[in-house]
Amino acid sequence: MAPNVPAVKLSNGYEMPIIGLGTWKSKPGEVEEAVKNAIEVGYRHIDCAMVYENEKEVGAAIKAKIDDGTVKREDLFVVSKLWNTFHQVDLVIPTCKKTIEDLGVGYLDLYLIHWPMAYKENAGMFPADENGKTLYSSVDYVDAWKGMEELVKMGLVKSIGISNFNSEQVQRVLDVATIKPVNNQVECHPYLNQKKLIAFCKERGICVTAYSPLGSPDRPWAKPDDPKLMEDPKLVELAKKHGKSPAQVLLRYQVQRGVIAIPKSVHKERLAQNINIFDFNLSDEEMKLVDSFDCNGRVCHLNWVNDHPHFPFHIEF
């Protein structure tokens, strides 16, 4: 029996399941099976992005599960993201339409600006000079936001939000928004617990989604001697105490803070484990213990573009 996953109520009244399936780094060829399995074991929130270059396969899986009667479209909460090369206001609508077409879902439940940094238009997803240095665009994300608002007015998207935005960038969007962002999706796990940014967003009616909630052990730039969150002895001990896996404890930690989490897995048994976290509680002491792991341990740092004028990680939060 699939667990009933609680939802977070967004500021505009829509509801977003508190656990979703992440699809970053899920290869075409394995992602379709992963999404089908996820829907079968009870996931109703699927997190996608154009830059993951697997939205067609995700869409095929969604279609299969709708066609076989497992779910209806309205049972699903589908998220995607506007990539950095499409911030120009006239590119926002056609880019979103392409994602909706690839996913085959008719509309998106939530569309996010993937990063506050715009990259050069019309030169591929990762425009670069002959030395491999990323090429930037001068488009400001507050202008991209105008395009995002149009998507809501057109009925292509129910809710809009941001991703990887720091507190100052969140505020700049709020200052110009006629339709407010409902969500900020950021890297978040005990080594980077984001306490201050979460509080800042909550005060402004913005919920937070944690990406890489398990510490992203499979990130492409990981080094062998990087600390591995899931092997942290204090975490392993805590998991044993509850008869749960370290991953389940990490996800339970986010859920108890009211933070949405989108773990990625392509293994059916782990997919089922990651959603089976509603039958135990961490005590206040245990939550404090996990909080104490914080060491500003950002793994998705994007240091190679840290000279971008809108690079988000130069300030504390």
CB proximity list for 21: less than 8 A, separation 6 or greater = 34, 35, 38, 43, 45, 46, 47, 262, 263, 264, 265, 271
Per 3-state DSSP, the chain is made up of helix, strand and coil in percentages (nearest 5) of: 40, 15, 45
Instruction: Give the residue among 80, 71, 8, 81 at the shortest CA–CA distance from 43.
Output: 71
What one-character DSSP code corresponds to residue 135? P
Give the count of alpha carbons within 13 A of 41, CB side only.
21
- What beta strand segments (E) does 27-156 contain? 45-47, 77-82, 108-113
- Whether 141 is catalytic is no
Per the CB < 8 A criterion, the answer to whether 47 and 22 are in contact is: yes
Residues 83 and 48: their CA atoms lie apart, in Å, by 11
- What beta strand segments (E) does 31-75 contain? 45-47
Q: Which DSSP helix (H) or strand (E) runs through 115?
A: none
> Quick one: how many helices (H) and strands (E) in the chain?
10, 10
φ, ψ (nearest 5 deg) of residue 171: -65, -40
Write down the catalytic residue from 43, 52, 191, 253: 52
Residues 139 and 201: their CA atoms lie apart, in Å, by 24
Per the CB < 8 A criterion, the answer to whether 160 and 151 are in contact is: yes
First vs last C-alpha separation in the chain: 40
- Scored b (16 or more CB within 10 A) or e, 145-166 reads bebbbbbbeeebbbbbbbbbbb
Residues classed as catalytic: 52
